[in-house]
């Protein structure tokens, strides 16, 4: 592969599902990728629309949501750079099972299902990595169901804050962790699976106990160990 070709595919090495593939395979993925830019708040696809393909976040953040019958939004997950979504549509012609919305200005890669399926059939390593990704998504869903069933709001809030910290956190000089994503109280309530009023009271309690703090809409984790104790 030429030096230019190597440079063109470097960004794919930041996506775990692709990072171990040889550069020749990365070039094929790059050649089959359609890149699209989305402004903050823009809908990428809507639940029920015909499924077009496999998506990944090149830059920015995306929330995956389900809409309740009463119109309320339930956030399933917030995806950051390097993460994949809509992978459940591979090898089946089904509509999108949820809605995807850009949380901030984002660059999204789209690979049509048929094109990716051809690449999978040519590369066992790619097939293995996608199976692992699907397994991890299933475990995430099972954990979320378990938390909703067995944990109270305080424990669920702590678990969500810890997850956001791990996925989107940035450690500061004083040891605190800033969750580098703007989330409204309604967004957090949706992630926790409760009402805005309840999550606001819970966050106020955690702030009073100096477990967390706020910087605008961003959350600062001041005492990670205390949050972990709340989830046990």
Strands 84-85, 53-59: pairing is antiparallel
Mean pLDDT for 183-211 is: 89
Q: Would you tell me which CATH number, out of the four given (3.40.50.300, 1.10.10.10, 3.30.420.40, 3.90.1150.200), belongs to the domain 152-231?
A: 1.10.10.10
Distance CA 57, CA 85 (A): 8
Superfamily holding 3-147: Jelly Rolls (2.60.120.10)
| Share above pLDDT 70 across residues of the chain, in percent, rounded to a whole number | 91
pTM: 0.74
Q: What is the pLDDT of residues 16-53, one digit of tens each?
A: 888 888 888 888 899 999 999 999 999 999 999 998 89
**Strands (E) located in the chain:** 34-38, 43-45, 53-59, 62-67, 73-79, 84-85, 99-102, 106-112, 169-171, 177-179, 212-215, 218-221
């Amino acid at each position: 592969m030429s030096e230019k070709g190597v440079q063109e595919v470097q960004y794919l090495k930041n996506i775990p599902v692709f990072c171990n593939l040889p550069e020749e395979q990365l070039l094929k993925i790059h050649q089959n990728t359609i890149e699209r830019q989305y402004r903050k708040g823009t809908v990428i696809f809507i639940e029920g629309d015909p499924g077009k393909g496999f998506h990944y976040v090149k830059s920015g953040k995306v929330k995956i949501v389900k809409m309740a019958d009463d119109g309320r939004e339930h956030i399933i997950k917030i995806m950051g750079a390097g993460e994949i979504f809509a992978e459940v549509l591979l090898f089946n012609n089904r509509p999108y099972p949820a809605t995807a919305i850009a949380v901030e200005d984002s660059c999204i890669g789209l690979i049509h299902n048929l094109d990716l399926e051809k690449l999978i059939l040519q590369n066992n390593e790619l097939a293995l990595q996608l199976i692992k990704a699907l397994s991890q998504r299933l475990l995430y869903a099972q954990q979320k169901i378990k938390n909703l069933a067995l944990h109270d709001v305080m424990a669920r809030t702590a678990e969500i804050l810890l997850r956001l910290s791990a996925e989107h956190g940035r450690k500061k000089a004083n040891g605190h962790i800033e969750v580098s994503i703007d989330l409204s109280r309604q967004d957090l309530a949706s992630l926790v699976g409760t009402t805005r009023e309840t999550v606001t009271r819970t966050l106020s309690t955690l702030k009073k106990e100096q477990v967390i703090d706020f910087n605008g809409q961003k959350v600062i984790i001041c005492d990670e160990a205390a949050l972990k104790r709340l989830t046990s």
